[in-house]
Amino acid sequence: MSTDVILTSDIHEQMAVHQPKQRGKAGGFLHHTNVLTGSALGIILSVVTYAIGSKLVPWGTQNEDYSQVGLNALVGATYVAWVIGFMIGIGAFAGPVRWMMGHDITHDDSEYMAGKGQGKWKYWKYTTDHKVVGLQYLVMALVLLGFGGFFAMLIRTELGVTWSEVFDPNFYNSIVGTHGIVMIIAMIIVIAGPLGNFIMPLMIGARDMAFPRLNALSFWLLFAAVPPLLSNLLLGGIRDGWTVYQPLGTQAPIGMIGYQICIITFAFSTGIAGVNLITTIVTMRARGMTWNRVPIFVIGILAAAIMGLVWFPMFQYSQVLAFSDKVVGSSFFIPQEGGSVWLYENLFWLLGHPEVYVILVPAMAGLLELMVVFLRKPLFSYKVAVAGIAGIVGLSSVVWVHHMYMTGWAPSAGYPFMLSTELISIPFGFLVLVMLGTMWRGKVWGRLPMMTVYAVLWCNIIGGITGVYLSDVPVDQYMHGSMFVVAHFHFMLMGVGLFGAIGTIAYWFPKMTGKMLNERIGSIGFWVAFFAFQVTFGSMFIAGLQGQPRRVLQFDNAFEISNWVSTIGAYMIGVGMLIFLYAIITSWRTGTIAPANPWGSKTLEWQTETPVPLDNFPVLPVVTSDPYGYGVPDPYDAIERKMTDENVKVGA
């Protein structure tokens, strides 16, 4: 007996990982950093940069298009100083600096960085725990959706009157462009950010993400990217829509530089997050979790990360070159100096359309994940769902040109890209068919997450069919640039993406917050928003068919009724979303304490306690089957019942 103990002790000593010497208090410099120090240092460094630069830069230097090169360079340097200063102040470079000094991070340092013992203050710091990062992403997504929704209300207020001007035309155009890019960023992160970080590692049985410090870096880069974007409204705005086509972007006010810095920084954030998500899923799955046992939501997150990692750099490249034209005076996109506007359009849309699927695939995969729980049925044809997601990833790379049918670029490419755009509806249709197959003859547990599935299916059908129309060159010639297009992509991005996010967040809310969502209030908000959404964008379809162009301040009397109806509907969407937000905030603060597994789900994230401990699982799980075995007898349960029955007989 004693020999066994000695041998075990010796083995543990041999297997123990050598720990570097602890230098000072665990966490070191990070004890003094948080979002306030980051913001303060970012502001100080940007002010100093502006003050010094204003003494050195020749303000009067102008391009042929009369944009002030000196002022643009100064503003660009100021924005860059904000990002760098903020990241230093938040503690993003503490790890690399310690490494260069030869001071390795100890286990105690890592636990401090993960937020151990810091209480709620950890949510305002450079914290590496994937659960903290997930909640940080959730709050950021809600804030961005709030800004985007507010700008939408301003747009509909202007369009609610026919000839009167509520806003200056330039300011109105700036609102339209800012609304577009804010909502795009919000929709990209609203599922992949909170749920990809908080839930996905739990679903695969991991302790954390593969690169915890990079996980924190990805969020705080996103945080640093937001102020430059929102500040554009104070500096002349972005008046050319969220696409900011060149060379209009180069000729725009200096507010354009804030947009460019935001996109460049955000692309770094998504690239880092994508590498982290992919590495975690590929290398850190629990023992026994083979690829045919991976939950479908994890496959959706993996697909979105791959598409983002491949295509987001294209958007970043376009803005780096545009930033150079704006600040340095280069001519990548200025035709009269040898530049090419076609280069910009292709770079932009190489991301612009795959980005749609970066939003939609996690939403659809999340709904498939929760459907099996509320229907108590196995997922109908898991392999077809995976094939559909794989098909979307592949075909998303060959559809971007349908955005340029009317530009005159490569007319002969129109019909091949028309075919590829129509083809991508097939793998997306696979996901819809898997949904319908799973619902077939199921006994529905009518909770809020399940109700969003029906809403998303409705919007998916309308958005999908109208998308097929717009993929055809002859139809696009008539519909291009009309409110019909606006209605179509809102049915996909909001009707599928945002309503899908509401369903998935409502489903995983108990695990993320430790509280049950008030479904009565949440359901009222959701259904108000859903029915108002049909009114708003259904009316836009009619206005588009009548010929109303998008991005216009004033319009003919013929479109008056359609715009009134859309404006009333938009205000009601706002009311519904505020009610749902109220349900989230009040439930999070004072809601009913959630049990570990309120839905009776079989996936791993529900098999650990709530709130989730720092290390996630006391013992790493071993997977022996797929997570969708509802209605299939479990042999271990049968053995347990038999033993229980025998014990009862013996006791009798």
The residue with greater pLDDT, 526 or 1, is: 526
The per-residue pLDDT for 634 is 56
Is 343 buried (19+), middle (13-18) or exposed (0-12) by CB count in 10 A?
middle
Helix axes 212-230, 255-283, angle to 10 degrees: 160
CB environment 489-528: b (16+ within 10 A), e (fewer)? bbbbbbbbbbbbbbbbbbbbbbbbbbbebbbebbbbbbbb
Q: Share the mean pLDDT of the chain.
A: 89
Specify whether the CB–CB gap between 557 and 543 falls below 8 A.
Answer: no
Residue-wise pLDDT for 325-362, tens only, equals 999 889 999 998 899 999 999 999 999 999 999 999 99
Residue-wise pLDDT for 410-465, tens only, equals 888 889 999 999 999 999 999 999 999 999 988 899 999 999 999 999 999 999 99
When mean pLDDT is compared over 328-337, 416-425, 520-529, 641-650, the highest value belongs to 520-529
Q: How far apart are CA 345 and CA 265, in angstroms?
A: 20
Q: How far apart are CA 359 and CA 347, in angstroms?
A: 19
The per-residue pLDDT for 25 is 77
Q: Which two three-digit tokens encode residue 314?
A: 């294209």
What percent of the chain lies above the pLDDT cut of 90? 74
What percent of the chain lies above the pLDDT cut of 70? 91
Residue-wise pLDDT for 240-278, tens only, equals 889 999 998 888 899 999 999 999 999 999 999 999 999
pLDDT score of 637 more than 70: no
pLDDT score of 530 more than 70: yes
Question: Which residue segments constitute the domains of the chain, with CATH numbers given?
Answer: 26-104 (no CATH), 127-607 (1.20.210.10)
The per-residue pLDDT for 632 is 63
Quickly state the pLDDT bin for 93 (edges 50, 70, 90).
very high
pLDDT score of 636 more than 60: no
The residue with greater pLDDT, 270 or 6, is: 270
The residue with greater pLDDT, 555 or 598, is: 598
Q: How far apart are CA 511 and CA 538, in angstroms?
A: 36
Encoded amino acid at 130, one letter: H
Helix axes 448-471, 483-492, angle to 10 degrees: 140
The per-residue pLDDT for 650 is 37
Quickly state the pLDDT bin for 633 (edges 50, 70, 90).
low
Quickly state the pLDDT bin for 56 (edges 50, 70, 90).
confident
Specify whether the CB–CB gap between 399 and 420 falls below 8 A.
Answer: yes
The per-residue pLDDT for 574 is 97
Residue-wise pLDDT for 59-89, tens only, equals 544 444 434 667 888 999 999 999 999 999 9
The per-residue pLDDT for 641 is 43
Quickly state the pLDDT bin for 640 (edges 50, 70, 90).
very low
Q: Helix (H, G, I), strand (E, B), or coil: what is residue 590?
A: helix
pLDDT score of 5 more than 80: no
Kindly report the CA angle at 585 between 582 and 590, in degrees rounded to 5? 115
**Residues facing 593 on adjacent strands:** 515
Q: How far apart are CA 119 and CA 142, in angstroms?
A: 22
Encoded amino acid at 170, one letter: N
Residue-wise pLDDT for 468-512, tens only, equals 999 999 998 889 999 999 999 999 999 999 999 999 999 999 999
What is the arithmetic mean of pLDDT over 10-21?
54
The DSSP H or E segment spanning 201 is helix 194-203
pTM of the model: 0.92
The per-residue pLDDT for 551 is 86
- HSE-up of residue 248 (Cα within 13 Å, Cβ side): 10
The per-residue pLDDT for 410 is 86
Q: Helix (H, G, I), strand (E, B), or coil: what is residue 241?
A: coil
Within 8 A by CB and 6+ apart from 86, the residues are 38, 39, 41, 42, 220, 223, 224
Residue-wise pLDDT for 184-210, tens only, equals 999 999 999 999 999 999 999 999 999
Quickly state the pLDDT bin for 2 (edges 50, 70, 90).
very low
- The radius of gyration computed from the CA coordinates of the chain, to the nearest angstrom, equals 26
Residue-wise pLDDT for 583-611, tens only, equals 999 999 999 999 999 999 999 999 999 99
The per-residue pLDDT for 11 is 40
